[in-house]
Structure 1
Amino acid sequence: MGYLYIFGTIFFTVYGQIMLKWRISKYSGLPDGLQEKVFFLLKLLFDPLILSGFLSAFVASLFWMAAMTKFDLSYAYPFMSLSFMLVFLLSIFLFHEAVTAHKMIGLFLIIAGIIVTSQSA
């Protein structure tokens, strides 16, 4: 059950990040003036799908609290790096973001780190 809690944390974290990027990209860029920035950010804040991204961060924190009842922090936390990997992969497919050698090396190092730290249980 503990791994389900970690999976829930990762799932809702990734969902929130992808949803925020997707919805924000539908709007124009951040305006220059202070008043325009405030109105722009308020408009984003009340977008229902952006709100779902914020809600998913809250739900992820509930899953994380449950995971902390099952695992040591030093064991469970490296699994959170999987969210970096998933966001990276989804950003390529959903947003057509560039894949560079540096990003691929970084992704490989994250995966290697997860494997190494998970062996320490």
Structure 2
Amino acid sequence: MSYFFVAMTIALTVYGQLVLKWQVGLRPYLVQAPYTVANIIRLLANLWVISAFAAAFGASLCWMAAISRLPISKAYPFMALNFVLVLLFATTIFHESLDIYKVAGTLVIVIGVVLLSCSPA
């Protein structure tokens, strides 16, 4: 059950990041004047943005459940998978560039996660 909570933390975090990117990208007025009160209110009233914030809150609850059952030194390396998943989804959904540096960096992250998760508690 501990790793289920870690997985839910990751899934909810990735969901939130992708939804925020999607919603901000749909609003060209944010590019011209991103920090006006009116733009912030419009964004905060958006149901997708609200769902992303709810996902962040849910991820926090799942994270608390995970670290109450696992040593944080064992659980935390898995948070690096957020980088991997966001990169993969960003390249497929938003058509962001994927170059050798991003691939190499992602491989380093994956290797690190594997090594850290295999270490004794």
Q: TM-score band, normalised by the shorter chain? A: over 0.9
**What's the CA shift string for 1:4-31, capped at 9, x where partnerless?**
0000100100000001001111101333
1:89 corresponds in structure 2 to: 88
* Matched residue type, 1:118: S
Tell me the residue number matched to 2:32. Answer: 31
- The aligned counterpart of 2:9 is 9
Q: Which residue of 2 aligns with 1:43?
A: 42
Count of aligned positions: 119
Cα deviation, residue 42, structure 1: 1.3
TM-score, normalised to structure 1, is 0.93
Please report how far the alpha carbon of residue 33 of structure 1 lies from its aligned counterpart in structure 2 after TM superposition. Answer: 8.5
- Deviations 1:56-106, CA, capped at 9 Å, x for gaps: 000000000000111111110000111111010000000000001111111
State the TM-score, normalized to the length of structure 2.
Answer: 0.93
Q: Percent identity?
A: 39
Measured in 2, the distance between the counterparts of 1:80 and 1:116 equals 14
Instruction: Give the match for residue 105 of structure 2.
Output: 106
Partner letter of residue 10 of structure 2? Answer: I
Once the two structures are TM-superposed, the CA of residue 32 in structure 1 deviates from its matched residue by 3.8
Once residues 102 and 47 of structure 1 are traced to their aligned partners in structure 2, the CA distance between those partners, rounded to angstroms, is 35
Letter in 2 for 1:80: M
| Unaligned runs of at least 5 residues, structure 2 | none
CA–CA separation in structure 1 for the residues paired with 2:34 and 2:88: 35
Take 2:34 and 2:92, find their aligned partners in 1: how far apart are those partners?
Answer: 34
Distance 1:33 1:119, change over 3 A: closer
Q: What do you get for the CA RMSD once the two structures are aligned?
A: 1.3
Q: Is the 8 A contact 1:9 1:61 kept in 2?
A: yes
